[in-house]
């Protein structure tokens, strides 16, 4: 039969009885792995377009709508027998204009999660699938449908594959399945490359039988471009903000000795340095409080509002520190003002880092969440490296110049970065979902501690290794190298920068792997790595040779990147959206304040108490064991439970 006669044949095939299982259900089954359990990694946008298109095609098969290349309209507004399809049909009836099929697919895409969940519910009720936690298994242990009314219908994937290699003209239902599978890239998962090349002409013929199927592919392509562009804007906003925040926050540490002599003059330089570092610690004290303040803003008014406020809260104190008169000029007011400004910097960091993680993960496609989320720690480390470079360059100047204006220039340079960040973030759209229901929700802080306190405790356990690992291996590490690996302080600083630099390419890589095998798996592997490798790595580093130190730091960088790259998406997905900023920010910043910021003090105390220079590595290994246990018992929320309605 010629393909030009396809429309007459397809029209005669429009019978609900011929499709024992709905088109949406069979499309989902196409994406299910042969052994069940996991669904194929179809891009989220393509899957959403496919589900929306399947609903429209199902209405067409049932004779409820008609379509041509330009518009779609209703021919029968009566009930379809499906609540999901009836709602979509009612929406089409209410629309006064005849819209293009692509416009309807775009409109229905936000309903894709609901369509998927209803289809899975139907498949379980029909005895085709069995749900075990988050997995969906074939009831008959293979890709088969149960016998109904003494008849067994061939499973959809087998029917589609048979169609690709024969000359039969399919019914509308199966032609639509081919169009859906092609539009969503399913054949790249199902067929080997040479088989796909052989089947491509036939796929093109079958796809041409369904006008809506062709619209799905074009809509998916357009939406993918839009989403990728939005992802790039979000990544740039999150990355730039973290570079600025951590540059500003870390610059103080680089000039602690100079600041100590100018604001805390004493006969003993050590006393001045200790006082200067005490003010540095004030920034950590402010972080949990900043988490509550900016978390409240993020959950009530949207992530964009919180991130704009955190940038300003960091930029203004940084500028004022750069302009602050010294003790010699205004006496005790100088150190008092310095403490206040450091507290505001701590507040800003408490709101910035975790809120930017949430912005990145929520703004990414589900299949790219860990990769996109990894750019938050990427920006933080990048900011520290920029600060290190600026600090090193200024410290090359004569000491009098550094003391008089060089350290001030480093702080004021942060204003340049802040200006860029504000410009980038002003272009971010507000979160309409958050803003729309803000009036109907009580204080997120109260709700978070009332309903999510267990999850907050789990977040603290999950982040224990990340906090200890970072501040031990990349902050206190320079002091440890100088004392126990017997290298100069300048060499220790340079090698520490190498270790930080090694993490930069590893973080997005870890995020990509987490998207493929699961963030939980990456976290478990990384935590075990810290358990078993922390002590041996420090034994190697203690040898004191440059190659041994770089080799050890490379191992630590891999483990740290794994724990950082996997944590971003995992932490976001264990919390419901309406309290994410508050709960995650508080848990993360409390961990960093109590366990990360205290690492230098605890490490020194452990070494003194045990008389064993490698004792901090055992502390890190224990933290790895705790994080492993916590991650093991923690699961991400189902997709529908992440929403604000949860």
Question: Which CATH number does the domain housing residue 27 bear?
Answer: 1.10.3630.10
Is there a single domain that holds both residue 407 and residue 450? Answer: no
Contact of 545 with 487, CB cutoff 8 Å: no
Is there a single domain that holds both residue 563 and residue 432? Answer: no
Residue 555 has pLDDT above 90, yes or no: yes
Q: Output the six-digit token pair for 204.
A: 């093109």
User: What percent of the chain has a predicted confidence (pLDDT) above 90?
Assistant: 18
Angle at 170 between CA 169 and CA 174, to 5 degrees: 155
Specify the higher pLDDT residue, 468 or 247.
Answer: 468
Task: Quote the mean pLDDT of the chain.
Answer: 81
Among 272, 296, 280, which Cα is nearest to 446's?
296
The confidence score (pLDDT) of residue 19 equals: 41
Is there a single domain that holds both residue 403 and residue 493? Answer: no
Residue 570 has pLDDT above 90, yes or no: yes
In a domain, 495, yes or no: yes
Q: Measured between alpha carbons, how far is 294 from 344 in angstroms, rounded to an integer?
A: 12
Helices (H) and strands (E) in the chain, counts: 30, 4
Question: φ, ψ for residue 543 (rounded to 5)?
Answer: -65, -25
Among 100, 104, 103, 95, which Cα is nearest to 70's?
100
Q: What CA dihedral angle connects 87, 88, 92 and 98, to 10 degrees?
A: 180
How confident is the model over 376-383, as a mean pLDDT?
89
In a domain, 224, yes or no: no
Q: Is the dihedral of CA 541, 542, 543, 544 positive or negative?
A: positive
Q: Measured between alpha carbons, how far is 154 from 292 in angstroms, rounded to an integer?
A: 56
The confidence score (pLDDT) of residue 293 equals: 87
Q: Output the six-digit token pair for 373.
A: 């989320």
How confident is the model over 203-219, as a mean pLDDT?
70
How confident is the model over 260-278, as a mean pLDDT?
65
Q: Measured between alpha carbons, how far is 324 from 609 in angstroms, rounded to an integer?
A: 40
Q: Measured between alpha carbons, how far is 180 from 170 in angstroms, rounded to an integer?
A: 14
Q: Output the six-digit token pair for 17.
A: 């009885």
Is there a single domain that holds both residue 535 and residue 646? Answer: yes
pLDDT tens sequence across 153-191: 788 888 888 888 888 888 888 888 888 888 777 887 778
Q: What is the C-alpha radius of gyration for the chain, rounded to an integer number of angstroms?
A: 29
Domain that holds residue 405: 232-440
3-state secondary structure 194-237: HHHHHHHHHHHHHHCCCHHHHHHHHHHHHHHHHHHHHHHHHHHH
How confident is the model over 472-484, as a mean pLDDT?
83
pLDDT tens sequence across 589-632: 889 888 887 887 788 888 889 999 999 999 999 999 999 999 99
Tell me whether residue 204 is exposed, middle or buried, using C-beta atoms within 10 angstroms of its C-beta: 0 to 12, 13 to 18, 19 or more. exposed
Is there a single domain that holds both residue 532 and residue 509? Answer: yes
Is there a single domain that holds both residue 303 and residue 382? Answer: yes
pLDDT tens sequence across 575-598: 888 888 889 989 988 898 888 878
Q: How would you classify the pairing of strands 72-74 and 65-67?
A: antiparallel
The confidence score (pLDDT) of residue 217 equals: 62
Residue 487 has pLDDT above 50, yes or no: yes
pLDDT category, 468, cuts 50, 70, 90?
very high
Q: Output the six-digit token pair for 202.
A: 């036939």
3-state secondary structure 119-162: HHHHHHHCCCEEEECCEEEECCCCCCCCCECCECCCCHHHHHHH
Q: How many CB atoms are located within 10 Å of the residue 218 CB? A: 14
The confidence score (pLDDT) of residue 278 equals: 64
Contact of 4 with 163, CB cutoff 8 Å: no
Is there a single domain that holds both residue 191 and residue 103? Answer: yes
Q: Output the six-digit token pair for 67.
A: 């379509």
What CATH number does the domain containing 374 carry?
1.20.1250.20
Is there a single domain that holds both residue 448 and residue 333? Answer: no
The confidence score (pLDDT) of residue 249 equals: 62
In a domain, 378, yes or no: yes
In a domain, 217, yes or no: no
Is there a single domain that holds both residue 601 and residue 507? Answer: yes
Beta bridge partners of 132: 135
Is there a single domain that holds both residue 122 and residue 268? Answer: no
The confidence score (pLDDT) of residue 17 equals: 34
3-state secondary structure of 66: strand
The confidence score (pLDDT) of residue 15 equals: 36
Q: How many CB atoms are located within 10 Å of the residue 250 CB? A: 21
In a domain, 225, yes or no: no
Beta bridge partners of 73: 66
Question: φ, ψ for residue 37 (rounded to 5)?
Answer: 95, -65
Specify the higher pLDDT residue, 563 or 544.
Answer: 563
- Work out how many domains the chain is built from and give that number: 3
- Among residues 381, 408, 440, which one ends one of the domains? 440
The confidence score (pLDDT) of residue 8 equals: 37
In a domain, 287, yes or no: yes
Is there a single domain that holds both residue 406 and residue 522? Answer: no
Is there a single domain that holds both residue 10 and residue 127? Answer: yes
Q: Output the six-digit token pair for 253.
A: 């540490």
3-state secondary structure 576-593: CHHHHHHHHHHHHHHHHH
67, containing H or E segment = strand 65-67
Most confident by average pLDDT, 143-147, 423-427, 539-543: 539-543
- Among residues 440, 461, 477, which one ends one of the domains? 440
The confidence score (pLDDT) of residue 14 equals: 36
In a domain, 219, yes or no: no
Q: Measured between alpha carbons, how far is 217 from 456 in angstroms, rounded to an integer?
A: 42
Concatenated DSSP letters of 21-87: S-HHHHHHHHHB-TTSBSB----HHHHHHHHHHHHHHHHHHTTSEEE-SS-EEES--S--S-HHHHH
């Amino acid at each position: 039969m010629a393909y030009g006669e396809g429309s007459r044949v397809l029209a005669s095939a429009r019978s609900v009885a011929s499709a024992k299982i709905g088109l949406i259900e069979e499309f989902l089954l196409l994406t299910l792995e042969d052994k069940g359990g996991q669904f194929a990694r179809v891009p989220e946008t393509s899957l959403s377009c496919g589900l929306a298109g399947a609903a429209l095609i199902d209405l067409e098969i049932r004779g409820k709508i008609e379509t041509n290349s330009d518009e779609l309209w209703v021919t029968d507004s009566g009930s379809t027998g499906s609540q999901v399809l009836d709602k979509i049909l009612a929406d089409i009836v209410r629309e006064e204009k005849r819209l293009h099929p692509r416009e309807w697919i775009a409109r229905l895409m936000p309903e894709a999660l609901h369509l998927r969940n209803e289809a899975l519910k139907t498949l379980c009720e029909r005895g085709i699938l069995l749900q075990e936690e988050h997995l969906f298994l074939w009831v008959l242990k293979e890709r088969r449908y149960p016998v109904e009314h003494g008849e067994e219908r061939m499973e959809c994937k087998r029917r589609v594959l048979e169609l690709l290699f024969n000359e039969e003209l399919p019914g509308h239902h199966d032609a639509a399945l081919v169009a859906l599978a092609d539009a969503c890239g399913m054949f790249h998962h199902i067929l080997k490359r040479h088989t796909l090349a052989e089947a491509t002409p036939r796929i093109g013929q079958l796809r041409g039988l369904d006008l809506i199927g062709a619209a799905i592919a074009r809509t998916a392509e357009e939406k993918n471009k839009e989403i990728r562009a939005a992802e790039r804007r979000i990544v740039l906003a999150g990355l730039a903000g973290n570079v600025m925040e951590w540059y500003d926050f870390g610059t103080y540490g680089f000039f602690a000795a100079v600041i100590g002599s100018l604001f805390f003059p004493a006969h003993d330089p050590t006393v001045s340095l200790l006082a200067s570092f005490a003010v540095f610690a004030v920034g950590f004290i402010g972080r949990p409080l900043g988490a509550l303040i900016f978390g409240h803003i993020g959950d009530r008014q949207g992530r964009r509002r919180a991130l704009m406020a955190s940038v300003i809260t960091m930029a203004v104190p940084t500028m004022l520190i750069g302009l602050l008169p010294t003790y010699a000029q205004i006496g005790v007011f100088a150190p008092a003002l310095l403490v206040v400004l450091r507290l505001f910097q701590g507040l800003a960091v408490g709101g910035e880092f975790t809120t930017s993680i949430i912005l990145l993960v929520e703004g990414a496609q589900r299949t790219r969440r860990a990769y996109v989320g990894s750019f938050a720690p990427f920006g933080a480390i990048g900011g520290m490296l920029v600060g290190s470079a600026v600090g090193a360059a200024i410290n090359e100047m004569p000491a009098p110049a550094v003391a008089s204006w060089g350290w001030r220039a480093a702080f004021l340079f942060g204003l340049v970065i802040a200006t860029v960040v504000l410009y980038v973030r002003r272009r971010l759209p507000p979160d309409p979902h958050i803003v729309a229901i803000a009036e109907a929700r009580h204080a997120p802080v109260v709700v978070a501690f009332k309903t999510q306190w267990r999850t907050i405790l789990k977040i603290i356990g999950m982040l224990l290794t990340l906090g200890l690992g970072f501040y031990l291996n990349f902050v206190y590490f320079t002091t440890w190298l100088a004392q126990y690996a017997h290298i100069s302080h300048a060499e220790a600083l340079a090698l520490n920068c190498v270790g930080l630099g090694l993490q930069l390419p590893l973080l997005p890589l870890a995020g990509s792997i987490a998207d493929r095998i699961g963030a939980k798996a990456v976290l478990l592997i990384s935590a075990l790595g810290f358990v078993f490798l922390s002590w041996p790595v420090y034994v190697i580093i203690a040898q004191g040779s440059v190659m041994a130190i770089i080799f050890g730091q490379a191992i630590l960088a891999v483990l740290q990147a794994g724990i950082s790259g996997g944590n971003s998406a995992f932490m976001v997905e264990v919390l419901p959206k309406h309290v994410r900023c508050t709960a995650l920010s508080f848990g993360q910043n409390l961990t960093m304040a109590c366990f990360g910021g205290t690492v230098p003090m605890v490490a020194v105390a452990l070494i003194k108490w045990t008389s064993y220079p490698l004792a901090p590595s055992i502390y890190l290994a224990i933290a790895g064991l705790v994080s492993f246990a916590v991650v093991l018992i923690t699961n991400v929320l189902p997709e529908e439970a992440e929403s604000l309605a949860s």
